[in-house]
Amino acid sequence: DDGGGDDGGDGDNGGGGDDDGGVPAPPRAAAAKYTEKANALGPPEELPPRPSHQMVPIPGGVFTMGTDDPGVPQDGEGPARKVHVKAFHMDKYEVSNTEFQRFVRATNHVTEAERFGDSFVFEGLLSEKVKSSITQAVAEAPWWLPVKGASWRHPEGPDSNITNRMDHPVLHISWNNAVSYCTWAGKRLPTEAEWEYACRGGLDNRLFPWGNKLLPKDQHYMNIWQGHFPYHNTAEDGYDSTAPVTAYPPNGYGLHNMVGNAWEWTADWWNIHHTVDEVENPTGVPTGKDKVKKGGSYMCHKSYCYRYRCAARSQNTPDSSASNLGFRCVADQLPDRVK
């Protein structure tokens, strides 16, 4: 039984919004001091190399979107339908902490997790000190805890940092934050159709970006949960949390980590009813409550969240953030210059 639970903190939890605990904003002086300290990492030229500005061309074409054999039927993965997608460019990697830090330095952007004062973190990654201070959880998914001070700079709460994870995907990014980054970079979020088409890497009707075998030649091709979720992660793929954005072999289009590692936002509003008609460049329904996310994460396991497949999908509200939720961008043409 794959279960109906999701590893992305789905539902009405709001991703750390004001009505999820009413965490008061810190005094301005303290907040300013904190921001100054958090940004004190030297000028941009001293930062590590930035791989994730690289984009690869995705040729236009027709593919089978969705599946008639859904892994999670209530997610609206079906029916399988023919979709035409025009050519575009896509980030080769998920947006990394290095990339997002450049954006923040250039714009002084404050993420919604930082503004709300908390964000959702998987319990298994928290220190005992942080865990002991939390009194509430998500009823349907008790391994998700709202952590005060959790943000992209502090993925597991105030006693954590990203110093040794600058090449990992940026986390605790809401849909709204992702749109802000993409706009600044001269890019945009992919539609769900573009994302799934790119994920498949030129293959049709396959479970994963490389085919149907989870472990081709007993090799790990993605970062997901091994062991018994949520109690024991054997980390046979080399990671018990995120992996570098460059990890694992790319798919046929040269894209890394399209499944596993971190969930990725798309532009579309969530909808579970799809036409069987052949369509061109679909952009989803015009309005909704939640946005579509794709790809699954390092927390996905077939026993409860079989969503690390190309056709799999899930949703969150646009202001939601969590310790396994990131993004990558696309563009119709390559931006004039790299930010």
Please tell me what DSSP assigns to residue 269: E
Is 149 among the domain residues? no
Is 150 among the domain residues? no
Q: What's the number of domains the chain is made of?
A: 1
Note the pLDDT tens digit of each residue in 134-179: 888 888 899 999 999 999 999 999 999 999 999 999 999 999 999 9
Note the pLDDT tens digit of each residue in 81-140: 999 999 999 999 999 999 999 999 999 999 999 999 999 999 999 999 999 998 888 888
Q: Which two tokens stand for residue 304?
A: 């409860």
d(CA 185, CA 336): 10
Residues 140, 10 contacting (CB under 8 angstroms): no
| pLDDT for 20 beyond 50 | no
Is 146 among the domain residues? no
Is 287 among the domain residues? yes
For residue 28, name the pLDDT band (cuts at 50, 70, 90): very low
Is 128 among the domain residues? no
CA–centroid distance for 216 within its chain: 24
Q: What is the pLDDT of residue 338?
A: 67
For residue 286, name the pLDDT band (cuts at 50, 70, 90): very high
Is 27 among the domain residues? no
| pLDDT for 221 beyond 60 | yes
State the residue range of the domain holding 234: 50-109+167-331
pLDDT, greater one: 45 or 21: 45
Q: What is the CATH number of the domain that holds 299?
A: 3.90.1580.10
